[in-house]
């Protein structure tokens, strides 16, 4: 508490713009630390978005229903459905021998390899869990290309899941 008051007095002497900058930096640092310290939840999302500031201060892009599923891993993935007893197995229905989660679906499954290659050609970069967010943040065009890719795959999987039921 005393440290906070002395910091406030110091900031008041430096001017309002400097004070705002320092406060902003402190907030971003605090938020990043909270993000980094969370060990029990959101491992997939944190892998995709390691730097909170880059994501939160982006200049374009709105997260859609399907993008949110890709970012969280909560969607029409057999592993997720299996965890809720909504599927008989966590394995991919397309290739059978892998756990069907967001990483498998968007980055590894042979069924979607051609679509992934098309996306990589569009964004002119290899798309991996580590590169997908920087690719999306690079431009509105890239964001839209990734969103089309994700939406196409998840709509297809959702329709197939409806037909199975």
CA 61, CA 65: separation in Å to the nearest integer? 13
Contact yes or no for 146/132 (Cβ under 8 A): yes
Q: What is the pLDDT of residues 58-99, one digit of tens each?
A: 999 999 999 999 999 999 999 999 999 999 999 999 998 789
Task: Report the distance separating Cα 60 and Cα 164, nearest Å.
Answer: 37
Token pair for 158: 């959702």
CA gap 11, 111 in Å, rounded: 57
* CB-based contact 91:115 (threshold 8 Å): no
- In DSSP terms, which residues pair with 91 in a beta bridge? 99
The model's pLDDT over 97-143, given as tens digits with 9 standing for 90+, comes to 789 999 999 999 999 999 999 999 999 999 999 999 999 999 999 99
Q: How high is the pLDDT of residue 33?
A: 95
Q: What is the pLDDT of residue 1?
A: 52
CB 59 within 8 A of CB 42: no
**Three-state secondary-structure class, residue 86:** coil
SS3 content of the chain, % helix, strand, coil (to 5): 70, 0, 30
* pTM exceeding 0.95: no
Q: Which tokens go with 61?
A: 């892009």
Virtual torsion, Cα 135, 136, 142, 144, nearest 10 deg: 160
Query: For residue 100, which of 108, 92, 89 has the smallest C-alpha distance?
Result: 92
Q: Distance between CA 165 and CA 88 in Å, rounded?
A: 12
């Amino acid at each position: 508490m005393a440290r906070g008051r002395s910091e406030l007095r110091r900031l008041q002497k430096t001017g309002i713009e400097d004070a705002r900058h320092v406060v902003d930096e402190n907030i971003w640092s605090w938020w990043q630390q909270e993000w980094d310290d969370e060990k029990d939840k959101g491992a997939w999302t944190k892998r995709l978005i390691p730097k909170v500031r880059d994501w939160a201060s982006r200049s374009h892009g709105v997260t859609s229903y399907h993008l949110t599923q890709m970012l969280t891993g909560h969607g029409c993935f057999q592993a997720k459905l299996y965890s809720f007893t909504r599927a008989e197995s966590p394995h991919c229905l397309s290739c059978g021998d892998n756990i069907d989660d967001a990483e498998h679906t968007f980055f590894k499954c042979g069924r979607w390899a051609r679509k992934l290659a098309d996306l990589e050609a569009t964004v002119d970069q290899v798309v991996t869990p580590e590169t997908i967010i920087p690719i999306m943040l690079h431009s509105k065009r890239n964001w839209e290309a990734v969103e089309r890719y994700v939406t196409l795959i998840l709509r297809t999987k959702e329709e197939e899941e409806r037909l199975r039921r």
